[in-house]
Amino acid sequence: MIRRLRYAWAFLFGSSRWVEPVFHLSSNLAWIVGVPAFTLWRHVYVERGIAPAGLIAHETEHVWQYARLGVVRFLPLYWFYQIRDGYDYNPLEIEAQNAARKAVRSKP
């Protein structure tokens, strides 16, 4: 019971603990939404045939953001920045784009 409460708290309000992402490759859901990939909590939905290292690192960073902030803070904050600043200047997207660049640079 306590374990479930901790999980629910972390889901809603965030935690400093690492959350392992769950990838759904070849997802029709990403195609339906109209993006190559998107993240909901720890689930990453990737369009069929698209899975470069940079994209995976970008979405994994969003998983960490969800885990750190919790759904209650991440979603409103993400959309606030999205509306106010646009995709290119959204601080959460910039953080994810930096993770993607780092992954691509470190790729052998």
User: Cα–Cα distances in Å, from 84 out to 45, 73, 77, 79, 88?
Assistant: 26, 16, 10, 8, 11
User: Cα–Cα distances in Å, from 83 out to 29, 89, 90, 105, 108?
Assistant: 23, 10, 9, 30, 37
DSSP class of residue 89 equals G
* Beta strands at 43-47 and 22-27: parallel, antiparallel or unpaired: parallel
Residue with the bigger pLDDT between 3 and 68: it is: 68
Q: What is the pLDDT of residue 49?
A: 79
Lowest mean pLDDT, pick from 10-19, 50-59, 95-104: 10-19
Q: What is the pTM of this model?
A: 0.85
Q: What is the pLDDT of residue 98?
A: 96
Q: What is the pLDDT of residue 1?
A: 80
Q: What is the mean pLDDT of residues 18-39?
A: 85
User: Cα–Cα distances in Å, from 34 out to 28, 78, 81, 106?
Assistant: 10, 18, 20, 29
Q: What is the pLDDT of residue 107?
A: 63
Q: What is the pLDDT of residue 13?
A: 79
List CB contacts of 37: < 8 A, sequence separation 6 or more. Answer: 30, 44, 45, 46, 47, 50, 55, 58, 59
> What does the pLDDT look like over 40-94, one tens digit per residue?
989 999 988 777 889 999 999 999 999 999 999 999 999 999 999 999 999 999 9
